[in-house]
Amino acid sequence: MRRSGQGRLPQPASNTPPPPPAADNALLERWHAARAHHGEPPAAKGRPHRRVSVLAMALAALLLLAAAAPAAGSQAPRAKLPRGELQQLLDGLVATGQPGAIGLARHGEETWRGASGLAIVDPEQPMRPGLRYKIGSITKTFTATVVLQLVGEHKLRLGDSVERWLPGLVPNGDHITIRQLLQHTSGLFTYDEDPRIAEPYLQGDLDFVWRPRQLVAIATEHPPLFPPGTGWSYSNTGYVLLGLIIRAATDSSVQQQLQTRILRPLGLRHTSFPVTNPHIVGPHAHGYQLGAGPGGTPLDFTGLSPSWAWATGNMVSTVDDVARFYRALLRGRLLPPRLLRAMQTTVDTGSGLQYGLGLASIELPCGGTVWGHEGGLPGYENWALASSDGEDQVVMMVNAGDGSSDYAQLVLDPVFRALCAIPSTSS
């Protein structure tokens, strides 16, 4: 990891309210709320449940690690990836009670892959590094890349309004731009905070299909959180709208655009964009909520319909494919320099994380800025972070999630530690 001194820790502005809880996991939050409403006992969990945002937890993790991390350059550089330490990080995740974990670390041309625990709880099957899993909001970086490619082809403009491409769909849509959708500054309510989204699944219909325009209609029944461009709030609604804009601008599906522009050129053979199929095709890790099944057993969420997430978080991939995508993106293979710079032009979220156009940045306690995204949804939690030049990368996943931001921090901590253990590329 390139280091240029101690990391600077952004502090939230004193007049900035804390961001809302992690939007990707709102579905499970609604599941818990519904159980309580109907008089059912709360489901047991593998970890304490705290209503704290992913961004706030990221800042807490940064502060914790800053206190414990040695100053940059205080240790002699190592010639190879610290494979034993990396495996211990995965084993440590499983030791917290998670079914299993997968990890990948990359330094230049050297790659380490590891796994720990179980991919399937019953009957028991071991976790393996090459298994597919649901990547959640890492999907956003893929969606944003397609949008920016269309901008580069002059088929879209970042300043285009929602009304220009989706007339009549969003109130005040003529004042909301594509850039604001990408950067979560539109002020739109995130649809998955509405309890109606979870209702079909709470009734046992995990195959229920939501259509993108239905999701937008539910979101726009709620008042905006702020006027467009005047604040920041994570909104899955914005990325559903971006998916619809991709369809309108290309007259083809988001799935086809991803396949043609990213998946096929990069050889991401294990990555897919399921629209309605609730089943993961090919060898995969099941995703669980701990203690939520009968008798306190893990509840399997693997078959949950991807339709409720769509272009905001429905993709399936592997640690290898995710790492290859981010390396290609950061090295300029997918976007021309001016659009990659636009993607990396960030706003302060108020919680230690900077957010660009579908791409987030964090400054490590050991120095250096890393880029990537978090992905959390029922049954899975994962992070993918890379150095600015894509030279050093870490991708980690646990196949459990309970709707709390504890899981985001649970995976973020070892990802930070792994990145700080990678030898400096500048040595």
Q: Which residues are catalytic?
A: 137
> Distance (Å, rounded) from C-alpha 184 to C-alpha 313?
15
DSSP line for 104-141? EEEETTEEEEEEEEEEETTTTEE--TT-BEE-GGGHHH
> Distance (Å, rounded) from C-alpha 58 to C-alpha 375?
13
Both tokens of 199, joined, read 């209702």
Distances (CA, A) of 389 to 72, 110, 365, 372: 19, 15, 18, 12
DSSP line for 256-317? HHHIIIIIHHHT-TT-B--SS--SPPSSB---EETT-SGGGPPEE-TT--GGGTGGGT--EE
Say if CB 189 and CB 300 are below 8 A apart. Answer: no
Say if CB 44 and CB 295 are below 8 A apart. Answer: no
In terms of Cα–Cα distance, which of 22, 42, 45 is closest to 34? 42
> Distance (Å, rounded) from C-alpha 263 to C-alpha 283?
18
